[in-house]
Amino acid sequence: MRTLTTDRLLLRPWNMDDVEAFYLYASSPDVGPSAGWKPCESLGEAEEILEKWTAEDYPDVVFAMEEKGTGAVVGSIGLHRDTHRAPNVQCRMLGYCTAKEHWGKGFATEAAHAVIDYAFQRLRVKLLTVDHYVGNEGSRRVIEKCGFTYEGTLRRALQIYDGTYKDASFYSMTAAEYRLIRAKAAGLALVLPEEVSEEAFMAYYGEWGGEGPGFNPAAMELKGRRHKQWLKDTIAMRTNPPEGLVPSTAYFFADRAGRVLGAIDFRHELNDYLLHYAGHIGYGIRPSCRGKGLAPYMLALCLEKARERGLARVLVTCDDENQASASTIEDCGGELENRVEEDGRLTRRYWIDL
């Protein structure tokens, strides 16, 4: 477990030297019950909890929230097994609490953003969940600020330390939703080709060094056409594709300043060839922008377009040897169905649920 840094906090592993600081807030009658656990009644009880958290075989990840300026431990935050989704090994549940004297300072939200990044980028989970007891408005606000999707409220869903049951509201975030949230926060977007100038298009096009197998997606190839004709044909593909092809929408991937970073082609449906080999989506990052982790954000933005069109899941494929593309698809929640061979080349077929 690594140490995470935010503007005001260090999120670090707990150690036994923290026992007094932990006991100080964990013994409060207002802290533990809001999260469903019994307030610590003695320093020895606090030691037992920290011994469990710091054990090498402890399966969960629990960070101490340390304030940078003072060195004070202001709470804890962790990634736990979700008992409601226990068979799903690629799922974790977010949990957190802060000392009462630090409520209202935004520490929980700040820490949660960092741990969410850790869950999806470091642990590569495909689903992150979180819940709160009905009436815990502070926790609800943290969850909503982080962008989780509300799933529903279950009555008498969770049993707490005193044996009573509480109603709880449940939320989740998929890997694709996480990348979508981060993409939008960074000012990244998909834009239609008619929104990109010919000059910007040609600068993008020129970086590829010619058309052919390395040019992705193929929808952005001129294929001997002038830009004006290519644009006309590309717009027509959305509603009136040539015989044998399916309707598709091509997008450029741009940053906040409008610079084209890549391109992606979304096929609205699958024909037999697309079902077996090419999938719903083809994409490429321009050569000068590779190695910056941009592709998952572009794919997540396109998945949103697919969901808006009513698709429940999409097929995304890549060459078996293209590990970078495979990682991009997996980062957005892709589940490998199989590998298929075409002309001696293996293709990975991934499905992403929307």
Q: What is the 3-state secondary structure (H, E, C) of 308-324?
A: HCCCCEEEEEEECCCHH
Cross-strand partners of 131: 170
Q: How high is the pLDDT of residue 160? A: 81
Q: What is the pLDDT of residue 342?
A: 84
The pTM for the full model equals 0.92
Enumerate long-range contacts of 135-143, CB under 8 Å, 24 or more apart: 136/34, 138/34, 138/103, 138/104, 138/108, 139/34, 139/108, 140/169, 141/109, 142/96, 142/108, 142/109, 142/112, 143/171
Residues of the chain with pLDDT under 50: none
User: What pLDDT, in 10s, does the model give residues 210-255?
Assistant: 776 678 898 999 999 999 999 999 999 999 999 999 999 999 999 9
Q: 80-109 pLDDT, tens per residue?
A: 999 888 788 899 999 999 998 998 999 999
Alpha-carbon distance values, 25 to 64, 80, 100, 228, 237 (Å): 12, 21, 7, 66, 61
The set of residues, in sequence order, having a beta carbon less than 8 Å from that of 200 and lying 6+ positions away, is: 258, 259, 260
- The pLDDT, as a whole number, for residue 85 is 86
How far apart are alpha carbons 321 and 111 in whole angstroms? Answer: 37
